Structure 1
Amino acid sequence: MNKSKIRINTIFTVPALTAFVLIIAVFSYQNCNADVSLPALFKNNAVLQRGIKVPVWGTADPGERVTVSIKSQKATTVADTEGNWMVWLNPMDAGGPFDMKVSGNNEITVTNILIGDVWLCSGQSNMQWPVNLSMNASQEIQEADYPEIRLFTVSNKVADKPEKNVRGRWVVSAKNTVGSFSAVGYFFGRELYKELKVPIGLIHSSWGGTPIEVWTSREILESNSSFRQFITRWDRALENYNKARERYEQRLLEWETEAETARQAGEPVPPRPGAPAALQNFQQQPSCLFNGMIAPLIPYAIKGVIWYQGESNAGEARKYQKLFPAMIQDWRNRWGQGDFPFLFVQLANFMKEQTRPSEGGWAELREAQLLTFLSVPGTGMAVTIDIGDANDIHPKNKQEVGRRLALAALGVAYDKKIIYSGPIYDTMTIEGNKIRLRFKHTGSGLVSKDGEKLKGFAIAGEDRKFVWANAQIDGNTVFVWSDEIPDPVAVRYGWANNPVCNLYNKEGLPASPFRTDTK
């Protein structure tokens, strides 16, 4: 009887042991052979940039051979010692949909890929503002079925070091997907699609209420003494917080001992020590959004960038004037695509209208943006001084913002022979008691939008005390004068947080605010 039991146990134990060994072997194999993987950008419904070499990257086992194939081309590489790999696809024409296969120890098939133009949409809340909260939202959403426009929203992420991936997914533009997407980004992309008839990919990466320094790499902030203060200030706050946290944790341990002693003695438990105030607004940390929401996108091939930001830097125009061009150049350098087009929105009119000439933080920030447009090659600026809202920092007319950015794109990025900007101040000459202003981007000619006399001009003598001025169009120039100022030296236009101004070109684009006495 005992032998039978032993025999029966042996009969059933051998296959069980074999299965166990196989399970262990498979488990060990899986742990030793990591699957080839792709970052979120290379997933179903993606758009790849046409006309230039396209990098595709991911992770695998160190030394693993990885092959990427799409259309008629194939590229192979070997993962490095850390498991990272990258291949470069040759330039492709617009088209699709296509499948892309990535194979190593396993195989991934990415479906419904289009080849077209990819634009990164970044900035703060006016870029983040969604379609479903914009003007005519219901109608816009109902008409949003564009199978060749693809949308990717980067999830908000703060990081103290550059990340390698983002959370997000590509979706096809449709009535059930577009509502939560960036309105400026969507309307911009829609205008381009209607004009170019090629697939458009929009990568939206923005966060409301954020200053420019959080979108700028730490290397750039550390490279200039005037920028370095942002890092120093934050690092000091973080150091103080960490010290306070350590003191709190030590005091908490002591309190737990004291509390237990009191309980055992039947005495009142002493008050629990309070935690230190949390370090607020981690999204204000220098470089944190560059690290978490821009760096992981590099070097995904793009056509260019649209940018809507600056409200959080109003009052810091001098800093912005230096940092904005530096950030643009840094992004371009890191992408390695040369001076790709970088288009941005000049701050809209906002707050109470000013009844007399005066200074304004928003006016100075607009000037910093204007100077960037004038000094940095490959940039375009959408002037929005006429479509803001005095009572709302988030004006709802995002359609016109997108349209003006698209005009800038057609002129700057696509070399279309169009008028894509309103009048931009160029030079001045003093002629007796008048100042003559000359402009670029006058298009078919200068006009007063409403047919009334020109508004928004102020003039001053040597004392720089500005008064409202008369202004008259003379060809592609404007004469400015005031009987109060017999010897004028400087003119300002639209120089207020919310100016009343009406100089346009005949193409219907507003002149940028400016001053001739830039400091």
Structure 2
Amino acid sequence: MRLKKFCMMFALLLAAAVNADVKVSNLFSDNLVLQRDIPAPVWGTAETGEKVTVKIGESEASAVADEKGKWMVKLPAMKMNATAQEMTISGKNTLTIKNVLVGDIWICSGQSNMEFGLGSCNAKEDVDSANLPNIRRIKFNHVTAGRPGGDVPRKWDICTPQSAGGFTAAGFYFARKIQKETGVPIGLIDNNWGGTRIEPWIAPCGFEMEKNLANVVADVKKREQAYSTELVKALDPLEKWIPEAKKAAATPGAELPPMPPLPNSPYNESSFPSSIYNGQICPIVPFAIKGAIWYQGESNGGEGDEYYAKMRALIGGWRTVWNQEGTSKDFPFYFVQLANFQQPSESPMGGDGWARLRMAQLKSLEIPNTGMAVAIELADANNPGDIHPKNKFDVGERLALWALAKDYPSTVLRTGGKAADLVYSGPLYKSMKIESGKIRIEFESTGSGLMAGKKEGRNPTVEDKDGKLKRFAIAGEDKKWVWADAVIDGNTVVVSNPEVPQPVAVRYAYSMHPAGCNLYNKEGLPASPFRTDSW
């Protein structure tokens, strides 16, 4: 009992010593970028009852540390500022954060194709020229947790030729495009984990929002209960071990008896629902952000509509926990549709590999304030079995087109015109109409017209004026698929095959690797794979 009291007193004294000085989350370090135009939360710890004041430029806010020693202020909305400033956090002591810019913060999340570094992209020229002081990033370690909490383990980096190789490549090209066009400082939260599924990134409230994911919620509760039961069972042998261990420890030369094993928490698993959300996303909430970009899906590759429900849960959950003010509440969320992968299939029916998941990603455009960069032709031509296409240039630039058009509409582009007028997407399936043994497909996002295109590496897409559209399939009521002739007619495509005199459905690029798919708009952006049927 005396030992227990001593430990409690020591813990309280230690906590008091820890909280005596004002501290701030590691997220607020030198080279920080703060979000412009909306209130910017700043938080940390101090002695209970201590007043803490945060100041940067003309913006200032104060708060009092609560009974747990925690404090948070919200700096008033600030205008964009590319001139370095100092931010001070003052109480009994003063902290100074140096070289702070005010611009836009973008979360870069997902699995390995978002984590994939610029230095691995065979892009030496881009790395060597990456003297971009108005682009910064903070990289996250891989962390799981059973409950929300924790702090950020690293500091902010300025983009230089020495640091750029470690940046998320997709995020780098996204930020470079936006920063060059707008002049706004960009901060990237490089928060991703290769090989992970979508479920561990989803907030618990996100799962609760989606009735179609009730089975996931039920399984989580079942696993948590099983873990609690096993933990209780493990306490008896642990209590018996403690006095034996103490006795051995007090005997010179004696070996400690082996400690009884404890059950492993399911939240230690990187695949367990909400485990990465707790460990990697919670530490940055409610840091003010502009939006998020997302490249994930390979580890959920066998799914279809259920992935759409998970995307709704992911986006809805993040927007709920951030709870930003005004129009930033439903912050933009732009994602990448999975690239082609593995060897091509010659089956006109398709449906293999990631085909169904890409349809779920396409359907995710129904979620408000989202956008999708199509990457269906970006796999390395000589190595289609590489799950990590090196061409992250087009990935980042296609994501940036969505952001420029939607979030920076008044920007006057270097090439002339306003960002609001950009064509930001390739053709997207809209509707079909059966006409005399043929099917006419209508599209959205046709830009200045449709074309058969050629894309080689990072080079711009060029029109193949003598080329024919490929990877269109057609079927009748018998559901037998055959390859089809597809002809551009204005902003539509007319699909037919004499073997199918009464067609009812069309599919385009609906396979794991639809080699040769070549429908683009004349701005050089590829059409998304699609299907008109639900068979």
What's the TM-score once normalised by structure 2's chain length? Answer: 0.83
Aligned to 2:499: 484
Aligned to 1:301: 288
- 1:143-154 maps to which residues of 2 (within 5 A)? 143-154=129-140
- Of 102-111 and 71-80, the range deviating more from structure 2: 71-80
> Does structure 1 residue 463 correspond to structure 2 residue 478?
yes
Contact 2:427-2:521 at 8 Å conserved across structures: yes
Question: Which of 46, 67, 70 is residue 84 of structure 1 equivalent to?
Answer: 70
Contact 1:427-1:437 at 8 Å conserved across structures: yes
Q: Distance in 2 between the 1:449 and 1:28 partners?
A: 66
Please give the secondary structure, in 1, of the residue aligned with 2:321.
helix
> Does structure 1 residue 175 correspond to structure 2 residue 175?
no
Aligned to 2:141: 155
After superposition, give the CA deviation of every residue in 1:84-121 in whole Å (9 maximum; x if it has no partner): 22222222222220000110111111100001111110
Q: 1:83 to 1:246 in 2, by over 3 A?
A: closer
Contact 1:62-1:82 at 8 Å conserved across structures: yes
- 1:342-361 maps to which residues of 2 (within 5 A)? 342-357=333-348, 358-361=350-353
Aligned to 1:391: 385
Aligned to 1:125: 112
Question: Which of 406, 421, 428 is residue 425 of structure 2 equivalent to?
Answer: 421
Q: 1:111 to 1:333 in 2, by over 3 A?
A: same
Aligned to 1:13: none
Contact 1:152-1:204 at 8 Å conserved across structures: yes
Please give the secondary structure, in 2, of the residue aligned with 1:161.
coil
Q: Distance in 1 between the 2:129 and 2:440 partners?
A: 47
Please give the secondary structure, in 2, of the residue aligned with 1:460.
strand
Contact 1:33-1:105 at 8 Å conserved across structures: no
AA in 2 matched with 1:419: V
> Does structure 1 residue 430 correspond to structure 2 residue 434?
yes
- Per-residue deviation at 1:412? 2.0
After superposition, give the CA deviation of every residue in 1:36-66 in whole Å (9 maximum; x if it has no partner): 1111111110001112221112221221111
Q: Distance in 1 between the 2:87 and 2:260 partners?
A: 55
Q: Distance in 2 between the 1:454 and 1:28 partners?
A: 70
Question: 5+ residue gaps in structure 1?
Answer: 1-26, 256-271
- Of 31-40 and 46-55, the range deviating more from structure 2: 31-40
> Does structure 1 residue 319 correspond to structure 2 residue 315?
no
Q: Distance in 2 between the 1:491 and 1:33 partners?
A: 65
- 1:160-239 maps to which residues of 2 (within 5 A)? 160-224=146-210, 226-233=212-219, 236=222
Contact 1:439-1:476 at 8 Å conserved across structures: yes
- Per-residue deviation at 1:182? 1.0
Please give the secondary structure, in 1, of the residue aligned with 2:24.
coil
Q: 1:428 to 1:169 in 2, by over 3 A?
A: same
Contact 2:231-2:263 at 8 Å conserved across structures: no
- Per-residue deviation at 1:308? 0.4
Contact 2:19-2:45 at 8 Å conserved across structures: no
Question: Which of 443, 450, 459 is residue 446 of structure 1 equivalent to?
Answer: 450
Contact 2:468-2:487 at 8 Å conserved across structures: yes
> Does structure 1 residue 402 correspond to structure 2 residue 396?
yes
Q: Distance in 1 between the 2:508 and 2:169 partners?
A: 30
Question: 5+ residue gaps in structure 2?
Answer: 1-12, 242-257, 410-418, 455-463
RMSD: 2.7
Q: Distance in 1 between the 2:264 and 2:342 partners?
A: 32
Contact 2:16-2:47 at 8 Å conserved across structures: no
- Per-residue deviation at 1:230? 3.0
Q: 1:361 to 1:151 in 2, by over 3 A?
A: same
Aligned to 1:12: none
Based on CA coordinates, which of the two structures has the bigger radius of gyration? 1
AA in 2 matched with 1:369: Q
Please give the secondary structure, in 2, of the residue aligned with 1:392.
coil
After superposition, give the CA deviation of every residue in 1:315-345 in whole Å (9 maximum; x if it has no partner): 1222111120222122112212211111000
After superposition, give the CA deviation of every residue in 1:263-301 in whole Å (9 maximum; x if it has no partner): xxxxxxxxx999799789711111001111112111111
Question: Which of 330, 335, 344 is residue 339 of structure 1 equivalent to?
Answer: 330
Q: Distance in 1 between the 2:168 and 2:370 partners?
A: 21
Please give the secondary structure, in 2, of the residue aligned with 1:283.
coil
Contact 1:36-1:103 at 8 Å conserved across structures: yes
Question: Which of 359, 364, 373 is residue 367 of structure 1 equivalent to?
Answer: 359
- Per-residue deviation at 1:361? 3.8
Contact 1:382-1:401 at 8 Å conserved across structures: yes
Aligned to 2:460: none
- Per-residue deviation at 1:246? 8.0
Q: Percent identity?
A: 47
- 1:97-108 maps to which residues of 2 (within 5 A)? 97-108=84-95
